[in-house]
Every structure is written in C-alpha cells, then in structure tokens.
Amino acid sequence: MLAGYLPLGTAGFSRADAADLLDLTRTWGAPRLRLFAGGVGRDQAGADQRRAILRDLGTMADMAHDRGLRIAVETHPQTLADSLPATLDLLDALDHPAVGVNFDVLHVWESGADPVSAFAALREHVDHLHLKSVTARDRLSVFHPDNVHDPRGSRDGMCPLLTGAVDYAAFLRVVPAGMGASLEWFGSKPAATMAADLRALRRDLLDRAA
C-alpha cells in the first residue's frame, strides 16, 4: 500500500495530481492507495463539505478502478471516517467496488470504539491494517498530524506495539491469516523498534498457535 495525501473536498484537489499519485502507486507495484477522507470530522462537516469530499473520493475510486487499483480510506480523526458509524456511513454513501478501509487500530480505539467489535463490523471492507500504540489516552495528541510529522515534535507517549494501552493481544486474535498490515513508528531508532515489534508479534502468533 502507498500512503498518499490529497486535499479532497477543497479547491486544491486536482485530477492531474490524483492521476500522478495513482500512477506512482502502480509503478511501485502496490495494489492500493491509502487516503484520508477529507480534513474535517463527520460531525463538524457541513453538507457542502461532505458532498465535496465524497465527490472527490468517488473520482479517485473511479480513477483507481480504471488502473486496477483500490482506494483504502483510513479510519482517522478529523476526517469523514473518524468513528465506526462515520466510516460505515461513508462506505454506504460511496458504494464503490474499488473502495476499502485502512483500519488504523489506535485511531479506532481513540474514537471510543472497541477495535475487536469495530473490525467485525467493517471486516468485509478492511483491506489493510495500521498498527501502532500509545502509553495512555492522555498522550494521544502525540499522533496529531501537526506534531507527528514534525521532526521536532514530541514523541512522549509512543511505545512498542504490545506494551501500550491498546489491547493488541485481544485484537490480534480476530485478525485472519493473510491480512496485510503495516507497523507505524515515528520515534527514534525506527528500524530497531519495528524489528523488535515484529519479533514480539511473531512470538505472540506462535504462542497462540501452540
């Protein structure tokens, strides 16, 4: 999966930029492009904003379908997929065969939903998983885009996947074999941290299989 950023629902959205990003996705051999469903939460979006975001997502989905690709809409705060009901409504409104979900476990948990129940509700639409954790709810702001994408931003609250506040032990029990997933890490020593997370995940899977 390629993770892309486009200003959906705004005057800055360009079909040419969309085509370039989709062509890059195909060039890299990725089957899907991750996108955010706009930059405003469902309850904060006006009717015109919602229609504009859905229009641009529909355009992206049509363009992706023509290229044999899929669009994976991420469950993320401050988007039209900021909660389980919002994500279900979005999928229903789009009703497009090329649209699926990038299920970000932490952000689903952040919304107040139980990731296990939310995954079951969205299972037929989930194309990919994003895996990261946090030490406590009062540290969730560490993942705000203005902080996490700033190399000088705080990293207080980021932690190895299986040691955080999100109950990954329970969640991993319901993930089917073969589901694609990406580890996310924005702190120091990314290669070492993700390698350790991967070893811990493999141990957990082996323990459950024993």
- So which residues are the catalytic ones? 76
Amino acid at 71: I
Please report the DSSP string for 129-182 in residue order. Answer: EEE-EES-GGGGGGGSHHHHT-TTS--TTEE-GGGSSS-HHHHHTTSPTT--EE
Neighbours of 28 (CB within 10 A): 9
Looking from the CA of 40 toward its CB, the CA atoms found within 13 Å total 16
